[in-house]
Structure 1
Amino acid sequence: MTTDTVTTIGGTLVQHGRVSDRIYVMHLSPRDLPGILDDLDGLAQRERYTKIFAKVPASALPLFLARGYVVEARVPRFFRGREDGCFASKFLDRKRRQESADTAGVLAAVREKAGDARPAGLPPGWKYSVATEDDADDLAALYGEVFATYPFPIADAGYLRETMAGDYRYFSVRTADGRLAAASSAEIYPDDENIEMTDFAVHPDFRGRNLSGYLLSRMEEEMWAAGMKTAFTIARALSYSINITFARAGYAWAGTLVNNTNICGGFESMNVWYRPLAG
């Protein structure tokens, strides 16, 4: 599975590469402003990327808007439970900005059932756990089977072990006989006091059991206990199942990132969903 690169520019964490043909500012260091804007433009020009998108505090948004960015999603109290956050994007190719799929139709269908909460539980003998390094091989195998392409190298057991040692937590559901049925992860941003609920994968043999919904509820418990203020996700806009999982769990739609990510074999738009965990 080919993936993009995660690196730093100054104190700002970014991902970029050919797979998703973009730059993603994962964590913006305010100390890098305004110079980071020139750095991002220069990197995009050198590599001929067609999109830059960034998670930006509302206080810094005017600097990005002045440089041609547009707001594709907005999350109230995203940073430390106090300051709004914006997903600001700069399109460097007009074709990248044109939505061709019926993402609005999926979103409308999902919103109709947003209040239709489903109880989440496991069959007798099945077990939920926070994954450890011993689970990395099984996790990588599951991710490799479910995702033909992915923006991060989650089909690499070495990468999973490395991120487990940092600000990632992985979660798993196993059957009574020990098979890995489903997995997910929480990407923790401790300085921002928010977490991305991500990397949901259910083995084809075990779909239709609301395992993603179960994982999400347990993840929220873990992250609330860790003091995180806001949970969010960046979900495939054409996937009814993952969007309904978050809608049913009480998450609010923040916006759609157009042609944002190369996942499952092609470029797709992504929906941002969020939910306050405290206060």
Structure 2
Amino acid sequence: MPDTVTRIGDSLLQHGPANRRVYLMHLAQGDEGEMPARLISLAQEKGYTKVIARIPAGACDPFYAAGFHLEAAIPGLYGGEEDGCFAALFLDPGRSTDPKVTVERSLLGSGERERSVAIPEGCRIREAGPADADAVADLYAGTFETYPFPIDDPAYLRRAMADHVRFFVAEADDGIVAASSAEIDPEGRNAEMTDLAVRPAWRGRGLSSALLQRMERAARDEGIRTAYTIARAAWYPVNRLFAGAGYRYSGTLINNTQICGRCESMHVWHRRLD
């Protein structure tokens, strides 16, 4: 059963037994003071072992006072001006370390790179719509054993499409062979580049790069100033993809996400689009 997306006050969060965490995805103005205690109380009540909050830098003090610490930071995440922080609290000390997690030094570049992406012959990149939800969900179901959100559910994808999530696909003669999404925050003028999946027969042919470039173009058209991603630390190809596209390493969320059958640490990468 997927984790639940709900609200405390006017703030948006996800929690549940799959990830065994509370994830504050949007902190509403006015909720700052009481939010750390309410998140911790929810985690204790449900027996979760981590609380993670994505918040503006100016809202961090109440979280730090409650015992949270910084795991990652994105310059200019909010409106291109205020930094965004991923602040974490571990209720089980055993979850707070991951001795296997590393970042390849070769990926830690300047964050400024020019790219030329060639789309494979017989394939085209386009934006997906509600009519594509069944095919996209099937692609995700065949790619991820587990995932933090129910992207293998066509109904969930249709709801996401109606709520500032723009999906893109690579389509060949045999149907949709790759997909991705840009979760647009119009108010914060940022976008999370996520949900990348490519069918095995089409991997290694540049489709992820082409989808990422198309998502960035769409985000710029909406006035988005900062793009970021939360990538599996253990999966070198996805980290190489974003580093090669000019994204810079922002930090690591330790033992954060249930994906592909296990709880994994996640690297955060960011890039300015303006």
Q: 1:65 is matched with which residue? A: 64
Q: How far is the alpha carbon of 1:190 from its aligned partner?
A: 1.6
Q: How far is the alpha carbon of 1:230 from its aligned partner?
A: 0.5
2: CA distance between counterparts of 1:124 and 1:37?
A: 51
Name the % identity. 47
Residues 37 and 66 of structure 2 are in contact (CA less than 8 Å); yes or no, is this contact kept in structure 1? Answer: no
Q: Which one is further off, 213-222 or 122-131?
A: 122-131
TM-score normalized with structure 2 length: 0.96
Are 1:167 and 2:185 counterparts? no
Q: 2:80 is matched with which residue? A: 81
Residues 113 and 248 of structure 1 are in contact (CA less than 8 Å); yes or no, is this contact kept in structure 2? Answer: no
Partner SS, residue 32 of structure 1: coil
AA aligned opposite 2:214: R
1: CA distance between counterparts of 2:248 and 2:112?
A: 11
Structure 1 residues 185 and 91: CA distance shift in structure 2, 3 A: same
2: CA distance between counterparts of 1:165 and 1:113?
A: 36
Residues 115 and 248 of structure 1 are in contact (CA less than 8 Å); yes or no, is this contact kept in structure 2? Answer: no
Are 1:3 and 2:8 counterparts? no
Aligned residues: 274
Partner SS, residue 155 of structure 1: coil
Q: How far is the alpha carbon of 1:112 from its aligned partner?
A: 7.0
Match of 2:226 among 212, 224, 230: 230
AA aligned opposite 1:123: P
TM-score normalized with structure 1 length: 0.94
Match runs of 1:20-39 below 5 Å: 20-39=19-38
1: CA distance between counterparts of 2:233 and 2:178?
A: 21
Residues 114 and 244 of structure 1 are in contact (CA less than 8 Å); yes or no, is this contact kept in structure 2? Answer: no
Are 1:154 and 2:148 counterparts? no
Match runs of 1:1-279 below 5 Å: 2-101=1-100, 103-104=101-102, 106-111=103-108, 119-175=116-172, 177-278=173-274
Q: How far is the alpha carbon of 1:62 from its aligned partner?
A: 1.2
2: CA distance between counterparts of 1:275 and 1:22?
A: 27
Q: How far is the alpha carbon of 1:117 from its aligned partner?
A: 6.3
Gaps (5+ residues) in structure 1?
Answer: none
Cα deviation digits, residues 204-238 of structure 1 (max 9, x gap): 11101121111101110000010111100000001
1: CA distance between counterparts of 2:130 and 2:174?
A: 16
Q: How far is the alpha carbon of 1:271 from its aligned partner?
A: 0.4
AA aligned opposite 2:12: L
Q: How far is the alpha carbon of 1:115 from its aligned partner?
A: 7.5
AA aligned opposite 2:133: A
Residues 109 and 248 of structure 2 are in contact (CA less than 8 Å); yes or no, is this contact kept in structure 1? Answer: no
Tell me the C-alpha RMSD between the 2 structures.
1.6
AA aligned opposite 1:100: P
Q: How far is the alpha carbon of 1:39 from its aligned partner?
A: 1.2
Q: How far is the alpha carbon of 1:155 from its aligned partner?
A: 0.2
Cα deviation digits, residues 21-59 of structure 1 (max 9, x gap): 001111111211211222111101100110001111111
